[in-house]
Amino acid sequence: MPPANYTLNLETELQTTATGPNDQPSDPASPAALHMPFDNSYARELEGLYARSNPAGSPAPRLLRLNRELADELGLDADEMSSAAGLAVLAGNAVPAQAQPLAQAYAGHQFGSFSRQLGDGRALLLGELIDRCGRRRDIALKGSGRTPFSRRGDGKAALGPVLREYLMGEAMHALGIPTTRALAAVATGATVQREQLLPGAILTRVAASHLRVGTFEYIAARDDQALLRRLADYAIARHDAALAGTPDPYLGLLQAVAERQASLVARWMGVGFIHGVMNTDNMTISGETIDYGPCAFMEHFDPEAVFSSIDTSGRYAYGNQPAIAQWNLARLAEALLTLIDADGEPAEQRAGAVVQAFAEHFDFHWTTVLRLKLGLDDASGGDRALADDYLTLLRRHRIDFTLAFARLADAAQGNNTPLRTLFGGAAAALELWLKRWRERTLAIGKSPDELAAALRSANPIYIPRNHHVESALAAAVERDDLAPFERLLRVLQHPFDEHAADSALAEPAPAEQTENYRTFCGT
């Protein structure tokens, strides 16, 4: 998160984004020896919404990690990507011939107040690749140096936050939650000045797109109806192609984003994830999780849990996330308003109804998530009360959210001991609830083993626990030791499989440590 003096309104920079000196790549990096078949639909279709810019380059780059599986999915040759030619691209020292690096423009509501101009201050879109499944994916460098949107920032990223984004994104992906992903982490060999001097790094990020609610707000605030329509059509073509040509595609787009966000936030909450900085510039149109800054996973269940050092009012607390998603959607609705047909009813009312309906959509998805977490793959009227009563128990007795669900699988097979141990002094209350849950699960007609299998596939054993994440990052930053990071990543890539050798990674931190845990922005 930028410091407070960061929110300068640089209208002068805005003027340069389309035609000024920054329109031409500054200081071009050398052409890359590597062939990457980029297409550049954003650059082609959305002029006025970006500034061309080149990566600053890295003095002594070192590949820390390449996501070989993802490289393959993108149709890239992993060996080539980890060669010197690949590293040059990932480090911003060379630009592939078909790339057209650019910094995207966007605005955003940060903690409720509007900034007309944010934009990629430390990121560059290299271009888009069509992956092996035919999906268009953005490939972007994060931490690659200053852009016309950098304001007072240095455009750089420190190693810790880069590895953190890598780990968190890959963990979320393995948990089945839509997210941007990490293709590579590179150490630049330069230092970055934060509160102290830190090693610099670059993350290569892959996204379904980087369109944000804030992208729409950027244009709406400038009253450019033609560009707004172009952006909305672009978003529809990219994410909701079925809407093209329908009677009211822009209302449809709002609806589609609302639906994706309702599902996304329910899934976040199902694994105890707290995004930490749900500003409108950090909320995607695609429905992918983006910008792993001060995010954290909850340990004991607490709807008020907040770990971000800058979120002093708890605006982005665990339990507030659905309300904030809805608030952000209202901002998207406002930005789209002039495009929405007044079809007998004012556009405000039609868009407002979509925003209103978010609450119901979220509730539906949340109930679905909870049912699955309880091993229920059919629906019965009392399920939500059953789930809510369990959550109340967890809250009252400060029980670890992840383990409370993971250990239901043992209970399903007749072994209550792991859960009882977890509940400690609250075991009597647990027994009463388990009795109700058992009765309900009987109705599904599954054998104990089948029920346990369903529970094990819905409830992870491993989440990126804050203390393990911190110690893995500290080893990398302070001792240049990537082994703990690699080990944690390996486990998090298979979060539902128990590995005896890694059982410590499933355990919560001591309570005092969790109480004092704070996360910081500053990727």
Strands 157-158 and 136-142: unpaired
Q: Is 134 exposed, middle or buried (0-12, 13-18, 19+ CB in 10 A)?
A: exposed
Of 57, 86, 121, 160, the one binding ligand AMP (CB under 6 A) is 121
Nearest approach, Cβ of residue 164 and ligand AMP (Å): 12
The reply to whether 66 sits near ligand AMP by the rule CB under 6 A is: no
Give the CA angle between residues 7, 11, 16 to the nearest 5°: 120
Strands 197-207 and 157-158: antiparallel
Query: With respect to ligand AMP, which residue has the nearer C-beta, 161 or 287?
Result: 161
Q: What is the largest CA-CA distance in the chain?
A: 70
List CB contacts of 289: < 8 A, sequence separation 6 or more.
Answer: 169, 172, 177, 178, 179, 180, 264, 268, 275
What does the per-residue mask of binding to Mg ion show for 287-326, with x meaning CB under 5 A?
----x-----------------------------------
Of 13, 138, 240, 291, the one binding ligand AMP (CB under 6 A) is 291
The reply to whether 57 sits near ligand AMP by the rule CB under 6 A is: no
Stretch that binds ligand AMP, among 118-126, 304-312, 323-331, 428-436 (CB under 6 A): 118-126
Q: Are 321 and 305 in contact (CB under 8 A)?
A: no
Residue 184: strand, helix, or coil: strand
Tokens 């941007």 -> residue: 180
Nearest approach, Cβ of residue 44 and ligand AMP (Å): 23
Strands 102-104 and 94-95: unpaired
Query: With respect to ligand AMP, which residue has the nearer C-beta, 73 or 165?
Result: 165
The reply to whether 214 sits near ligand AMP by the rule CB under 6 A is: no
Q: Are 281 and 263 in contact (CB under 8 A)?
A: no
Query: With respect to ligand AMP, which residue has the nearer C-beta, 1 or 461?
Result: 1
The reply to whether 155 sits near ligand AMP by the rule CB under 6 A is: yes
* Total residues interacting with ligand AMP, rule: CB under 6 A: 19
Q: Are 277 and 244 in contact (CB under 8 A)?
A: no
The reply to whether 293 sits near ligand AMP by the rule CB under 6 A is: yes
Q: Is 291 a catalytic residue?
A: no
Tokens 């596939």 -> residue: 457
b/e map of 159-191 (b: 16 or more CB within 10 Å)? Answer: bbbbbbbbbbbbbbbbbebbbbbbbbbbbbebe
The reply to whether 148 sits near ligand AMP by the rule CB under 6 A is: no
| Count of positions (residues) in the chain | 523
Query: With respect to ligand AMP, which residue has the nearer C-beta, 6 or 517?
Result: 6
Out of 120, 138, 240, 281, the active site residue is 281
Select the binding partner of residue 302 from ligand AMP, Mg ion, none (C-beta < 5 to 8 A, by kind). Answer: none
Query: With respect to Mg ion, which residue has the nearer C-beta, 291 or 311?
Result: 291
Query: With respect to ligand AMP, which residue has the nearer C-beta, 106 or 390?
Result: 106
Q: Are 324 and 315 in contact (CB under 8 A)?
A: yes
The reply to whether 281 sits near ligand AMP by the rule CB under 6 A is: yes
Backbone angles phi, psi at 207, to 5 degrees: -140, 150
Query: With respect to Mg ion, which residue has the nearer C-beta, 259 or 291?
Result: 291
Nearest approach, Cβ of residue 271 and Mg ion (Å): 21
Of 282, 308, 321, 402, the one binding Mg ion (CB under 5 A) is 282
Stretch that binds ligand AMP, among 16-24, 153-161, 224-232, 507-515 (CB under 6 A): 153-161
Nearest Cα residue to 49 out of 236, 202, 232, 204? 232
Stretch that binds ligand AMP, among 125-133, 274-282, 390-398, 465-473 (CB under 6 A): 274-282
For ligand AMP, the binding residues (CB under 6 A) are 1-2, 118-122, 150, 153-156, 277, 281-282, 291, 293, 521, 523
Annotated catalytic residues are 281
For Mg ion, the binding residues (CB under 5 A) are 282, 291
